[in-house]
Amino acid sequence: MSNTDFALSIEDLTVSFDGFKAVDGLNLYVDNNELRVVIGPNGAGKTTVLDLICGKTKSTAGSIKFRNKELTKLAEHEIVHAGVGRKFQTPSIYENLSVYDNLEVSYPKGRSVFGSLAFKRTDAVDARIREIADEIFLGDFLDIEAALLSHGQKQWLEIGMLLIQNPELLMLDEPVAGMSVKERDQTAELLSRICKGRSVLVIEHDMDFVAKIAHKVTVLHQGKILAEGDMQTVKNDPNVIEVYLGH
Amino acid sequence: MKFIYERLLGGKKGAIGIAILAVLILIILPLGLDIFRLNLVGKYLTYAFVAVSLVLLWGYGGILSLGQGVFFGLGGYCMAMFLKLEASDPISTKIQSTPGIPDFMDWNQLTELPWFWVPFHSFSFTILAVILMPAIFALIIGYSMFKRRVGGVYFAIITQAIALILTVLIVGQQGYTGGINGITDLRTLHGWDIREDSAKYILYFVNAMLLFGVIFIGRYILTSKFGRLLLAMRDKEDRVRFSGYDVSNFKIFIFCISAAISAIGGAMFTLQVGFMSPSFVGIVPSIEMVIYAAVGGRMSLIGVVYGTLLVNYGKTMFSETFPELWLFLMGGLFIAVVMYFPNGLAGVWEKHGKRMVDYIKALQVVESFLTLVTNKLAVKSGSVSK
C-alpha cells in the first residue's frame, strides 16, 4: 500500500463476521486539521470502522495507515501511542474516581507498570489537568466523583481524557448523545476549537449538530460509502435521500 | 518525611489506623496472652499476609484468585525444605538406611537427596526462593491467562484448579514432598531452636514487623498512579486499554506481587507452627483466606488484618465447642458479608463507627458545657449568698 499525504488513509478495508461483511472494501481519507463526520443509518458499520481503527476489532483485509504507519497489526495500546484517541458511544469514564483522577490516569506519562509506580504529580501535570478541565467546562468539578456528573458532563470528561493525551487523530462516537441544547452548542464550540492541529473523526446522528461542525461528511450504508462531500451536497444526494427516507 | 507519611502510612487517617493496629499487635496481645495463645495469634497473622495480598489483587484489581493457598504453600514449603534439611544432618538420622536425607525420603526408599532439594541447604537461597518461586509461578500463570484476556469467573476457576492440582501433586509425590503429612518435625534455624518459647516470641515479632512492611508496600502501590489504574481497570478495562496502557502487564504484576506477599506469610507460618502440609495449599484454605479478606473489607489493608484475626478467633472458639457447626457458620458469614456488608468490617466502621465516635464526642461537648454552666451557677449563687 502506497504512502499518502493524508493523516488517515483507509484502503480496501473489510471485516467479516461469520460471512457478514460489516465493512466492505472501504476507502476513506482524512486530512490534517480536518473534522470529518460519518453518518449513516443503523447497522451501516460506523462504529465498526472506529473499532477497526483503534484495534478493538481486527480487520479481515485492507489497510489502515495513520501518518503512513500501518495500524492493523498493532496492539490497542500501541495504536494509542501512535497518536489515536477514541471516545466510546456510552461515556466510558471511571465512575469511582474523581474528575481529577480520571484525567490524571489518562495523562500520557507513567504508562508502564514501573513508570506508573514512580509517577509523580508534578506542577506540570497538575497545570495540564486544570487546563484540560477548564477546556471541557469541568474546571469547578475536579474533586467531584465522576459518577455524580450529568450525562453530558461525562461525555465531556471522556473527551478531556483523550485531549490530555494530545492525540493527532481524535475519534468521537456520538459525542452529543443525551445532551441538552445548550450543552450541544458548547460541545460544537469545543470541537471546532480542538480540531486545530489534529484530525477529528466524529460519528453523529443529530443532523443540526453535524451541519454545525462538519468540514466534510461521509455517508456509510451497508459497510460501504454511499456519498461523501460537504453537508449540502450530501443532503441533496438522491442515494442518501433514498436510504434515509426511502424505506 | 512527607513521603513516608503520605505514601506509606496513607496520611492522617491511615497513620491512625496503623498506630492502633500496631498497639494491638505489638503491645496488647503480647502482654495479655500466654505464649500458647500468642503463637496461635502469630499463626493467624500469617494468614493476614494472604488477606493483604487479596486487597491488592481482588479489592483493587478486581481479580479474584481462589488459589492464593498455592503461593502461601509454596513459600511455606520452601522454608520447610530448608529447616528439614537442617534437621536431617547425618548424625541425627544415623539410624536411617541412608543417613543425611529427610526421614520421609528414607521411608519411601529414596537413597539420595533429589536435585531440587540440594540448593535449600543455603539459607540465603531459601529466602530468595520464598519470594521469587511463587512470584515466577504467578508470572507464568498470569502471562498465559491475562495476555489472552482470561478474567473474572474463568480466572477464579482456573486458580482453584491449580490449587487442587498442586495438592494432588504434593500428596502423590510422597518421597519428594512428604505427602499428605507434609514436612514435619522441624527444629532449628542455623542452630537456633525454633520450638522454644523465647524463639516463638521473637518469631511473633518478626512476623508482625514483616506484616507491617507488607502493608506499607501495599499502601505505596495503592497510593501511586498504579493504584488508581487498578481501580480504573476494575471499572472500565477497555477505557484503560484505549488510553494507551497494556492492561495485561498491570494484572500480571499485581498477581506476582500478591503471590510474593502470600508466600512470605507461608514461610512465617512454617517457622512459627513448625510444619507445612498440603492442607494449607488446597481449595478450602484458599477460599477461607478469601473469606478473611471479605469479612475484614477487601478495600482496606488494615481491615483485613482484623477480619483474619476475628474469623480465626471465631473458628477456634466455635470449633472447640461445636466442631460440626463451624463450616456452616463460616458459609453463612460469607453470604452475610456479600449480601449486607460488601465492604466488610472496614465498611461497617466507615459507615457507623465514625458516627458513633462523633456521637460520643458530641456527648462530651454537651457534658463539658453543662459542667461549665453548673459551675458558673454555683459560683453565682455562692457570691449571692455571700
Can you give the residue range of the structural domain that contains B356? Answer: 345-386
Complex confidence, ipTM: 0.91
Mean pLDDT of B37-63: 96
Q: Out of A52-61, A97-106, A237-246, B57-66, pick the least confident.
A: A237-246
- Please check whether residues B318 and B369 belong to one and the same domain: no
Please say whether the beta carbons of B124 and B29 come within 8 A. Answer: no
- The two beta strands, A8-17 and A61-66, are antiparallel
Q: How many domains does chain B have?
A: 2
Q: Measured between CA atoms, how close is B222 to chain A, in angstroms?
A: 9
CA distance A1 to chain B (A): 26
Of the spans A2-16, A195-209, B254-268, which averages the highest pLDDT?
B254-268
Q: Which residues of B fall below an 8 Å CB-CB distance to A?
A: 220-221, 224-226, 228-229, 231-232, 235-236, 238-247, 249-250, 253
Element (DSSP H or E) covering residue B386: none
In terms of Cβ atoms closer than 10 Å to its own Cβ (0-12, 13-18, 19+), residue B175 is middle
Q: Which of B46-55, B72-81, B241-250, B337-346 has the lowest mean pLDDT?
A: B337-346
B375: pLDDT confidence band, cut at 50, 70 and 90? confident
Task: Determine the pLDDT at residue B350.
Answer: 81
What nine digits make up the cell of A227?
Answer: 456519498
A77, A81, A105: residue with CB nearest B228:
A105
- For residue A81, the surrounding DSSP H or E stretch is helix A76-81
A187-196 tens-digit pLDDT? 999 998 888 8
What residues of chain A, 140 to 199, have a C-beta less than 8 Å from chain B? 158, 161, 165
Q: CB-CB: which of A77, A95, A97 is closest to B246?
A: A77
For the segment B154-174, the average pLDDT, to the nearest whole number, is 95
Cell readout for A46 is 460506523
Which chain B residues are Cβ-neighbours of A165 within 8 angstroms?
243-244
For residues B349 and B338, state if they share a domain.
no
Greater confidence (B259 vs B368) lies with B259
CA distance A228 to A26: 12
- Looking at CA atoms only, how far is residue B221 from chain A in angstroms? 7
B321 & B371 share domain:
no
| Lowest mean per-residue pLDDT among B269-273, B316-320, B343-347 | B316-320
DSSP conformation class of B65: -
Mutating which of A116, A125, A173 best tests the B interface, going by the most B Cβ atoms within 10 A? Answer: A116
Average pLDDT over residues B124-145: 97
Alpha-carbon span B156 to B83, nearest angstrom:
33
Q: What DSSP character marks residue B66?
A: S
Residues B327 and B350 placed together within one structural domain of the fold = no
Residues of B whose CB is below 8 A from A159:
none
What are the grid coordinates assigned to A37, written together? 463526520
A58 and chain B: CB distance < 8 Å anywhere? no
- What is the structure's pLDDT at B12? 77
What is the rounded CA–CA span in Å between residue A106 and residue A98?
12
CB-based contact A150:A29 (threshold 8 Å) = no
Is pLDDT above 80 for A137? Answer: yes
pLDDT (0 to 100) of residue B381: 66
* Residue A90 confidence class, pLDDT cut points 50, 70, 90: confident
Angle at B184 between CA B178 and CA B186, to 5 degrees: 130
Q: Is A244 on the interface with B (CB under 8 A)?
A: no
pTM for the structure as a whole = 0.90
Please check the confidence at residue B378 and state whether its pLDDT lies above 80: no
Please tell me the predicted confidence (pLDDT) of residue A19: 86
Residues of A in contact with B241 (CB under 8 A): 76-77
Pairwise CA distance, residues A243 & A207, whole Å? 15
CB contact under 8 A, A117 and B224: yes
Integer Cα distance of B210 and B256 in angstroms? 18
Task: Determine the residue of chain A that is closest to B220 in CA distance.
Answer: A117
Q: Using CB atoms within 10 Å of the CB of residue B334, give its burial: 0 to 12 exposed, 13 to 18 middle, 19+ buried.
A: middle
User: Do both B66 and B154 map to the same domain?
Assistant: yes
User: Which of B114 and A178 is assigned the larger pLDDT?
Assistant: B114
Res B328: pLDDT: 85
Rg (Cα) of chain B, in Å, rounded? 25
Give the Cβ contact number of residue B107 at 10 Å. Answer: 14
Residue A245 touches partner B, C-beta closer than 8 Å: no
Query: What's the CA gap between A194 and A171, in Å, rounded?
Result: 12
pLDDT for res B124: 96
Decide if pLDDT at A3 tops 80: no
Question: Which of A77, A88, A97 lies at the smallest CB-CB distance from B232?
Answer: A97
DSSP A41: S
Q: Which residues, other chains included, contact A109 with Cβ-Cβ below 8 Å and sequence gap of 6+?
A: A115, A119, A125
The answer to whether residue A92 scores a pLDDT higher than 80 is yes
pLDDT value, residue B386 = 45
Residue B383 has what pLDDT?
Answer: 53
Same domain, yes or no, for B288 and B380?
Answer: no
Q: Nearest to residue B64, comparing CAs of B350, B250, B298?
A: B298
Asked if the model's pLDDT at residue B245 lies above 60, the reply is: yes
Rounded distance, CA A191 to CA B213, Å?
A: 49
CA distances from residue B115 to A214, B89, B171, B379 in whole angstroms, order as listed: 71, 17, 19, 88
Same-domain status, B61 and B210: yes
Q: Residue B201: its pLDDT value, please?
A: 95
Mean pLDDT over each residue of chain A, to the nearest integer:
91
Share of chain A above pLDDT 70, in %: 98
**To the nearest whole percent, how much of chain A has pLDDT over 90?**
71
Give residue for cell 489497510: A63
> CB pairs below 8 Å between A and B: how many?
78
Q: Which domains does chain A have, with CATH numbers?
A: 8-245 (3.40.50.300)
Q: How far is CA B315 from CA A78, B287, B321, B326, in A?
A: 51, 14, 10, 7
| Residue B374 burial by Cβ neighbours in a 10 Å radius (0-12, 13-18, 19+) | exposed
Nearest CB to A97 within list B231, B241, B242: B231
Based on the fold, state whether residues B43 and B101 are members of the same structural domain.
Answer: yes
pLDDT band of A12, cuts 50, 70, 90: very high
CB contact under 8 A, B229 and A105: yes
Residue of A nearest to B249 (CA): A113
Q: How many CB atoms lie within 10 A of CB B275?
A: 18
Co-location of B369 and B255 in the same domain: no
Residues B183 and B328 in one domain: yes
CA pair distance B282, B168, nearest whole angstrom: 9
Q: Mark whether B87 and B130 lie in a shared domain.
A: yes
- Summary mean pLDDT of chain B: 91
Q: How far apart are CA A52 and CA A50, in angstroms?
A: 5
CA B184 from centre of chain: 22
- Res A133 pLDDT > 60: yes
Q: What is the mean pLDDT of residues B224-229?
A: 94
Q: Confidence class of residue B340 from pLDDT cuts 50, 70 and 90?
A: confident
Percent of chain B scoring above 70 in pLDDT:
98
Distances, alpha carbon A70 to alpha carbons A33, A67, A162, B344, in Å:
20, 8, 21, 49
The identity of residue B59, as a single letter, is: G
pLDDT of residue B351: 80
For residue B228, give the nearest of A75, A97, A112 by CB distance. A97
> What average pLDDT does this structure show over A94-120?
94
Inter-chain residue contact A92 with B226, CB threshold 8 Å: no
Whether residue B93 sits in one domain with residue B176: yes
CB B307, CB B242: distance < 8 Å = no
**Which H/E stretch holds residue A247?**
none
Based on C-alpha coordinates, what's the Rg of chain A? 18
Query: Is residue B4 predicted with pLDDT exceeding 80?
Result: no
pLDDT tens digits for range B184-223: 999 999 889 999 999 999 999 999 999 999 999 999 999 9
Residues B7-32: what's their mean pLDDT? 87
Task: Give the closest of A56, A80, A92 to B236, CB-based.
Answer: A92
